[in-house]
Every structure is written in C-alpha cells, then in structure tokens.
Amino acid sequence: MEAVPSSGSACFQHVRSRIWFSLPVYPLRERPTIAEEEPWAEINGYLVHDSANWRDLNLKFVILCWRDYKLIVDKYYDKEDVSKLRSRLKLYICIKARKVLDYFYKLSEVVIRNALKEWDPNHDGMIENSGTPDQTYDAWTMTGASRLSCSAYCGSLWLAAVYSTICMADELGKKSTMHKLKYLEETLEKAKVAYVIKLWNGRFFNFDESASNQGLIMADQIGGLWCLTMLQENEIIREDNVSTSY
C-alpha cells in the first residue's frame, strides 16, 4: 500500500489492482458514532474485486446447507428408531427440516450446475480459477500455464460441495432427484481424478498449477475435505493423501 496525501483525505493505492479509493479524515470531535457506523447505515465500501465472481463463497454455502440440516436431524431424529421421537415438537421440527433440506437441495443443485457451466471449460469435472484473485483470499492469484488453473483451496471446496449435494439428493430420495444424483456422482468421480492428477506432488496438494508456485503450501489447501471430516462423512480423497497434507 502506498500512501498519498490529499486535501482533506488520505488516499491509498492498491499496487496490484490499481484501484483508488479515499478515506475521509474526521476531526476528533466529528468522528461518526458507533451507531452511525453500523452496517445498515454505512454503504459497503469493498471495491477491490467483484465478489460475485469468487469461486469459494457459493461452494461454502452448499456445504453449510448440508451441515445445518445434519445438525438439526442429528439432534432431534434417530432414523433407526422413530419411536425415540419423544414429542410432537420434535416430529414437527423433523418435518420442517425435510422441507428445509428440499429447499437447500434445489439451490445447491443450481449452484453446482452453474459452476460447471461457467468454471469448468475443459469438462473434467473440476472447476478452475481465472488467474485473478477470484476467491476470498483476494490478493492471491491462482493460475496455470494457460492462466486458468485448478487450485487446492477452491478444488477441495468444490469436491466437498458436490459431495454435500449428493448427500442431500440421497437423503431426499425423491424420484425427481435420482437422475441428477447419478450425474452428480459421475461429476464427483471425474473431479477427484482431476484434483489429484493436477495438484498432488507426492507430499501435499500444490497451491495451483503454475510452475512458479510449485512447493507452496496453503493452510486451507484441503479445507473442503476438513469440512466433510467434521461432518463425519466418508473420505473422498485417499487417506494417505490427506494425512500427509496436514
């Protein structure tokens, strides 16, 4: 960051993106109160990137949909013994949870379908980053020989999101979801193969596919797989790959 003085304001230049923005300098007595700085009173000032193009946010939403449903059901419902439902309230909550899951699944399936359409140009089942800071780590670019690249971080979230959507479809068990379930399962199998082939270096998953980043380790490299572990789901990548990456 390079500070440049200006009349009545402090301007900062973001060296990479060359985006300028100004921060007003208030005299001490005129500084806004805490109430005036509340989110509903202040305009969102994030201008660095268009977060609508970020690869990770929608995928995290899908994973959290499956997590929230599991937390509700695990607390109130025992599939092996429905008689353990000790109150009408718990039964009511479970019925509502199924409706919520149906809603979650429909949204998640759209997310997965659109991601494949927009972010999987080579149709290998694995999404690719654009060569720009297109995820929450908004100063890091994930790139490869052709600018587009699979990345350990977004790739692991993608695997977990597809798997979570499969779990939702399987849990619903509707005929209307069965044909989509097969498609999702095929996509997951292809994506797992692509993820390992493109990024696994024998010890951990590379940051991205670029030669300059070989050997870089990202703490969130398999964050999506960690989410599935926390949900007590089956491993979708070989255990030895995961254990050495940690």
DSSP-assigned letters across all residues of 121-164:
TT-SS---B-SS--SSSTT-----TBSBB--HHHHHHHHHHHHH
Question: How many separate domains does the chain show?
Answer: 1
DSSP 200: B
Q: Is residue 108 part of a domain?
A: yes
Give which of 239, 195, 197, 240 is closest to 221, Cα–Cα: 195
Residue 231 lies in a domain: yes
- Tokens 């993820």 locate to 195
What residues form DSSP beta bridges with 205? Answer: 200
Amino acid 165: pLDDT: 95
Residue-wise pLDDT for 85-95, tens only, equals: 556 766 777 77
**87 within domain boundaries:** yes
Note the pLDDT tens digit of each residue in 61-104: 999 999 999 887 777 666 555 555 556 766 777 778 888 899 99
Q: Is the pLDDT of residue 56 over 60?
A: yes
**Containing domain of residue 146, as a range?**
56-244
242 CB-near residues (< 8 Å, 6+ apart): 222, 225, 235
The pLDDT assigned to 86 comes to: 59
pLDDT band at 44 (very low <50, low <70, confident <90, very high): low
Tokens of 216: 């870089």
The overall pTM is greater than 0.95: no
